[in-house]
Structure formats: C-alpha cells, structure tokens
Amino acid sequence: MMAQFEEVSVNSKLHPKPEGLIMQYGTAGFRSNAKHLDHIMFRMGLLATLRSKKTKFTIGVMVTASHNPEEDNGVKLIDPMGEMVAVEWEIYATQLANAEQDSLLHELKSIIEAEGIDLTEPAYVFVGRDTRPSSASLSQAVVDGVCSLGGKILDYGLVTTPQLHYMVCCCNTKSCYGSATLEGYYQKLSQAFLQLTHNVPNRTDDQKRLVVDGANGIGALKMKELEPFIRSELQVLLSNDGSQGKLNHLCGADYVKVQQKAPQGVTLVEGERCCSFDGDADRIVYYYTDSKGSFHLLDGDKIATLISTFLKELLTQAELNLQIAVVQTAYANGSSTRYLEDIMKVVVCCTKTGVKHLHHAAQKYDIGVYFEANGHGTVLFSKAAHKQILELVKDPNINDERKHAAKLLENTVNLINQTVGDAISDMMLIEAVLAIRGMSVQDWDSIYTDLPNRQLKVTVSDRRVIDTTDAERRAVTPGGLQDAIDALVKKYKSARAFVRPSGTEDVVRVYAEADSQESADCLAHEVSLAVHHLAGGVGEKPKPL
Ligand code: G16
C-alpha cells in the first residue's frame, strides 16, 4: 500500500498541476484547452482505478472534448454499465483535480477512506481517445495514473465515445451485451440493421443513399470501418472525413444545429438526406434542402419523435402493454413537446442538460426515449420490457402480424447502443425506421413544424453567477435576470426563452423561440443583452443578428 502511494507521489510529479488552476467536472467531464489537462488526466487515471476497486468492475476513461474546438480536450469517466460516472464521484473528481501538488496524496487517501476502498482489490480500466492531436499524450497520462495505483489497462486507442461506453458494458456484463471488441460492435449493430432493412421491398439506390458529415473526427474513421458491413443496404457518402479539414471547424452536429445551415464540404441536393456527427460521434442531426433551397434541420427532437412513433406502432401491433416516455431538456422545441403530449399521447418529462440526467430519467420507464435537441440521445429498454419482447418472439401461438412486430422490436433493441447516445447506432436506427415506414426525409420533417428558434452564447466574467431551477428553465440568480427575461418573452407570440451556464465551454447559453424567425432572433438578442448587463458580461455588448 505504502509502495503504491510512493509511486503515485513520484509519478504525479511528472504530471504536475499548474498552481492555482481550478477546474470543475462539468456537463460531460473536464473540458479546457488541452495544455491545461495533463495533470487532470493522470488524476482521472487514479480515480478510475479507485472506482474500479470500489465497484469491482471495469471503468472507462474517454479522452475527448467532443464538440469543442480542436485545441481543447477533455475527459469523461464511464461507470460499469456504460453510463456516465455517478454524480458523487464527480465531486471526488473535482476535489482530486484541484488538489495542489503537495496535498494530492491526502486527497486521494480521503476518498479511499470515505468510500472504504480496499486497495488490494484488482482494478481494470478501459481507455479510449478521439483524433485530436493532443489526445495520444493525454491518454498516456491516464495510463500512467492507472498504473501508479496498480490498475490494469486495456487501451482501445482511437474509438468513438459511445464505442468505449459499449466496451465497458460488454465487459462488465460478461459479454451478455455483446463482445467487447470493435469487430463485435460492428457485427452486432450491422446484423440488427440488415435484419431490419433487408426485407423492405423496392428500395431504390436513391433511397439507400445518405450523406454523412464526419466532423473531421473519429466518427468519420469509424464510419469507414462500419461501411463494408452495411454496404448492401446503405450507401454512405462521407464528407469531412478528416483527410483535410480541422475537427468541428465549420462542420459537425453542433455547428449545423446552432448555425442552422449545412456544414462546409457538403453540397445539398434537393431532398437528399444528410446527417452530421459531432467530434466524438455521440450526437447526430439530419438535414436537407427543399425545392426552394430552404434548409431544414431534423434535430434530436425530431429524432425522438420518429423513434417513439415507430416504437409505439410496433407495441400496438405486437399487443404489448409497455409504457413509452420521452425525456427532453429545456432546449426541446415547444412544437415537439406539444406533438408528443397532445397527438402521440406519450409521457414527456424534462431534465437538466447533460446525458446523465436524461439517462436516469429514462430508466424509470419500460421504454425511455431520450434525446437532447442537439442530437445526443438513445433509447433504454427496461429488463422486463426486453424480456417480454424476447418471449413474444419465441411464442408459437401468436399470429404473423404480432410475430413480425416482435421481431422488429427485437432487432431494434439490438441496433440501439443503450449505454449512451451513439451517432452511428442512431443513424442506422433512423435509416431503418425511414425504410420500414417508407418515409422520405420530407415526410419525417412534416410530422410537426418546429417553432423558429435561436441559440446564442454570451461571455461573462464568471458564468457561475447564473444559477437555475426548474430543469434550467428559470434563472434564480443574479437577481432581476429572470424578471427581465419574463418581460422580454411577453413581447412576442408563442415565445419562450431561458439562459444557463454551459458545462463544457466558458460561456452562458441563451435560447429563444417564437412564432417567427425574426422574433426568435430579436428575443435571443434582447435576452443576451440582459445577461451581459446583469451577469457581468465581458467585452462588447452582443450585437443584433
Ligand atoms: C456534452 C453533453 C451533452 C450537452 C453538451 C452541451 O455534449 O454530453 O449532454 O448537451 O455537452 O453542454 P453544455 O450546454 O453544458 O455546454 P458533448 O457532445 O460535447 O459531449
């Protein structure tokens, strides 16, 4: 034991913490400019090892800053079933990250004591990384941390974030969820996809074609690996494949969602389906252009609606009495919520931003469909729901229609990466649903019409001055800000607006929607001015759009 602490002490000096640097485990782990992160990575290696010793399961550590610019990096910890690390351990992560060099051992020992960790237990940690130039050395720092505490490493190298979540879950379920290899991942998902699509009659080559923007990141690399498995049913035209452009620069899911325009490198052809991944391929959005050249975005809300409608129909056909709920955040377009509640009659609930919050809410239902508007989401099937579906598939006494629906449900379960939002798995599911239901991207888009909306960012000196409540829909501090927002919202029809501090970038996010784009833009701008004025804005006042 003493020898391990000695090793941590010696090795931590090779990954020194810049004095005074304070960081917080945010919406999805630590994020910042890569040059500030070496000590964080080493320490997250230590923490993952402790988490593994405590849970007696393999833990994952993913080195990525997802949608952030290429110069940034970050780290996300993955719990045994492939979910985000437990919130109580986020607090330890922050404590460990911020301990000055000479108090690191003290901080480590206090976590060991608080959690009653037996250091003689073995520990296993899976590590993965995205394609950022800084990721290789930062993931080596994670490895150093794990090894310092005597943990064993399996380094998957370049993988998408959801692939690493999948591997962790496969390993800890003793391969019940699948085999913990990339080959196993592609096999499982592609077989389910082919089962779902290969009997769909009369699909033309046009219908099988999909333009994929890989954001110049890991998603593009992994699409190339997947493509041979699904070629017969999906023709992927890959752009922003990383051969030239910069990661996330003028491309990727976040750019397309926020800018509401096509990424660089993708030329829109009328009616052609296109989609964009983000930098670590855990988000996806779709889009197309119509005959008038107008751009149409199909975001996480539209994806949730498509998938939940499909599942609800299958449940009716299969005569299975399972409850579906859709989990959203404050960013969900008001039209989507109204459609889901009033027309689809499904339960809708709203949580704070961050997949961990949506994931936990979705676990409460037989089938929980969760998507953030930014395209991050998946579907969770409870154990009981899964069992009912499998039993129905095997039931010899049911008619063909029920059997067919049960089979489709079984393959849908297999196609979905239930551990976390996964752009590759979501893409195949969306493609399968569109094919089975004979829908074009326009048909999908016309399920409901989005309220025009706008997202902006405001830089303030300390974004923590903004505190929110009611699933981030209302600001509690600074005083007067919510009253100002309420007064502004009243000026516009069908309007709504909120502000919240980002957990991944040093900005305050502003969201507004209204009955016209002009009104949504004006409202977003006016709310930005209120934030700038009341929450310590830095630099010039936000300009009108
Ligand atoms: C992460 C989280 C998402 C969240 C997004 C933006 O995404 O996983 O749940 O919506 O950050 O968060 P914020 O508004 O707090 O900056 P990603 O894809 O960047 O990992």
Architecture of the structural domain at 453-534: 2-Layer Sandwich (3.30)
Residue with tokens 């599942």, as numbered in its chain: 311
Quote the pLDDT of residue 504: 87
Distance between CA atoms of residues 500 and 431, nearest Å = 34
Distance between CA atoms of residues 154 and 128, nearest Å = 9
Quote the pLDDT of residue 374: 97
Query: Which residues make beta-bridge pairs with 324?
Result: 367
**Closest approach atom of ligand 1 to CA 500:** 14
**Closest approach atom of ligand 1 to CA 278:** 18
Distance between CA atoms of residues 369 and 333, nearest Å = 16
- The amino acid sitting at 467 is D
- The amino acid sitting at 532 is H
Three-state secondary structure readout of 6-39: HHHHHHHCCCCCCCCCCCCCECCEEEEEHHHCHH
- Report CA(391)–ligand 1 centroid distance (Å): 37
CATH class of 2-158: alpha beta
- Report CA(78)–ligand 1 centroid distance (Å): 15
Name the strand (E) or helix (H) holding 333. Answer: none
Quote the pLDDT of residue 199: 87
Name the strand (E) or helix (H) holding 222. Answer: helix 218-230
Q: Do domains 2-158 and 184-297 have the same CATH topology?
A: yes
Ligand 1 and 299: CB distance under 6 A = no
Low-confidence ranges of the chain (pLDDT < 70): 1
Residue nearest to atom 14 of ligand 1 (CA): 502
Quote the pLDDT of residue 175: 93
280 known member of a binding site: yes
Ligand 1 and 27: CB distance under 6 A = yes
Confirm if 78 and 84 have CB atoms less than 8 A apart: yes
Architecture of the structural domain at 184-297: 3-Layer(aba) Sandwich (3.40)
Quote the pLDDT of residue 1: 65
473 known member of a binding site: no
How many angstroms from the chain centroid is the CA of residue 42?
Answer: 24
Architecture of the structural domain at 300-427: 3-Layer(aba) Sandwich (3.40)
Report the predicted TM-score, pTM, of the whole model to 2 decimal places.
Answer: 0.96
Determine the longest span between alpha carbons in the chain, in angstroms: 71
**Residue 231 tokens, joined:** 């070629």
Q: How far is CA 105 from CA 111, 325, 514, 533, in A?
A: 10, 45, 53, 43
Residue with tokens 């005959």, as numbered in its chain: 291
Whether the upstream peptide bond of residue 478 has omega within 30° of 0, thus cis, is: yes
As to burial, measured by CB atoms within 10 angstroms (0-12 exposed, 13-18 middle, 19+ buried), residue 209 is middle
**Residue 300 tokens, joined:** 């996480």
- Report CA(27)–ligand 1 centroid distance (Å): 6
**Rg for the chain (alpha carbons), in Å?**
23
521 known member of a binding site: no
467 known member of a binding site: no
Distance between CA atoms of residues 57 and 48, nearest Å = 10
**Closest approach atom of ligand 1 to CA 76:** 20
Q: Locate the domains of the chain by residue range.
A: 2-158, 184-297, 300-427, 453-534
Residue nearest to atom 17 of ligand 1 (CA): 66
Distance between CA atoms of residues 190 and 126, nearest Å = 24
How many angstroms from the chain centroid is the CA of residue 24?
Answer: 19
